[in-house]
Amino acid sequence: MFEKTNRMNLLFDFYQELLTTKQKAYVSFYYLDDYSLGEIAEEFEVSRQAIYDNIKRTEESLEKYEEKLGMLKKYQQREKLFSQLEAQLTKKNFLDEQVKDTLEQLKNID
């Protein structure tokens, strides 16, 4: 469950602008704020089943966006390469503060 929550949080970060206002709200409450389905249903005055169905559809949408656009996959690949580069530079004693700062800036471009 923890892995799924992390994945959904990352997908939400990348694709939230493609979701409806309601989808954003439900997913945000459920995954980011850790509300239960019942708490969200009470907040929006709808049934627990309606919240569940909407969140499941939204999860499917987020996965489809990722399948087509691959933003999360590319992000994870970049992070892995940055880590490898940092390790290689450290091993060869080329990693000074200026290089660290530049690597950090590159990481934060997204």
**How many helices (H) and strands (E) are present in the chain, helices listed first?**
6, 0
Say if residues 105 and 87 touch (Cβ distance below 8 Å).
Answer: no
Our measurement of the distance from residue 86's CA atom to the centroid of its chain's CA atoms, rounded to an integer in Å, reads: 23
Q: Tokens 């005055």 identify what position? A: 45
- Residue 96: band (very low, low, confident or very high) from pLDDT cuts 50, 70, 90: confident
Q: Where are the domains of the chain?
A: 2-69, 73-107
Host H or E run for residue 64: helix 48-69
Fold of 2-69: Arc Repressor Mutant, subunit A (1.10.10)
Dihedral class, residue 84 (left if φ above 0, else alpha if ψ from -120 to 50, else beta): alpha
pLDDT band at residue 15 under the 50/70/90 scheme: very high
- pTM to 2 decimal places: 0.82
Instruction: Report helix, strand or coil for 86.
Output: helix
Q: What is the pLDDT of residue 50?
A: 98
What is the pLDDT averaged over residues 8-20?
A: 97
Q: Does the pLDDT of residue 37 top 80, yes or no?
A: yes
Confidence of residue 106 (pLDDT cuts 50, 70, 90): confident
